[in-house]
Amino acid sequence: MKTFFHILILISSTVFVCQILAEAATKPSIDWRSAESIGNHIEIRQDAAHGEITYGPNFSTSNQFLSKNFSDIYLMRIVDLEGADHYTIYINARYNSKNFRSYESAVNAQDEAKLPLQVLSKTGGNCSIAICQYEEKLAIPLNFLYFFDGSVSGLNITISGNRNDQIKIPDAYFKAMLNAIPEEKI
């Protein structure tokens, strides 16, 4: 099951990141404190192989530090073909350095609880004389309680490896994602 989820996230995120990047240039700026503004940028897609995929806007563009260190940060909700909900934070770190950052753990800073960090892929080797280009694709699966609690207090994550980076996702982002969940028809 873990492998299936890992493959599902990798395939889904790769396809949709390409589509998102193509569409991002035409969308207006986002007020990251407003669930309504964020909600205007949420996409819901049906995928024949994976089910319904809902993803928020690229959070790495919310501030200079994140955009300098991460090319993509998305909150995703996937309803698989069997109807099960999956929530994950997708992170793509594309950077120039002398070494991999080698992220291997994630912690929720609010309660110091360890989060399950999955390394989806790790590539590098495009080097000039002193520096190389690296890319690490990561996923942090969240249970519904983390997803729901995020709408109240946001989520402050520290990812660690050869260096530590902090990602603070505001409550408005989670509220917007919750508001995007279609109501069940009885």
Measured CA to CA, the distance from residue 134 to residue 99 in angstroms comes to 8
Structure token digits, residue 150? 């995020």
Cα–Cα separations (whole angstroms), residue 65 to 21, 96, 168, 176, 186: 19, 15, 11, 23, 45
Of the candidates 75, 99, 90, 87, the residue with the CA atom closest to the CA atom of residue 161? 99
Residue 183 has pLDDT above 90, yes or no: no
Contacts of 186 (CB under 8 A, 6+ apart): none
pLDDT in tens, 138-158: 999 999 988 889 999 999 999
pLDDT in tens, 78-119: 999 998 999 999 999 998 888 899 999 999 988 788 999 999
The domain locations on the chain are 2-180
Q: How confident is the model at residue 50 (pLDDT cuts 50, 70, 90)?
A: confident
Which region, left, alpha or beta, applies to residue 21 given φ > 0 means left and ψ of -120 to 50 means alpha? alpha
Residue 20 has pLDDT above 60, yes or no: no
Residue 28 has pLDDT above 90, yes or no: no
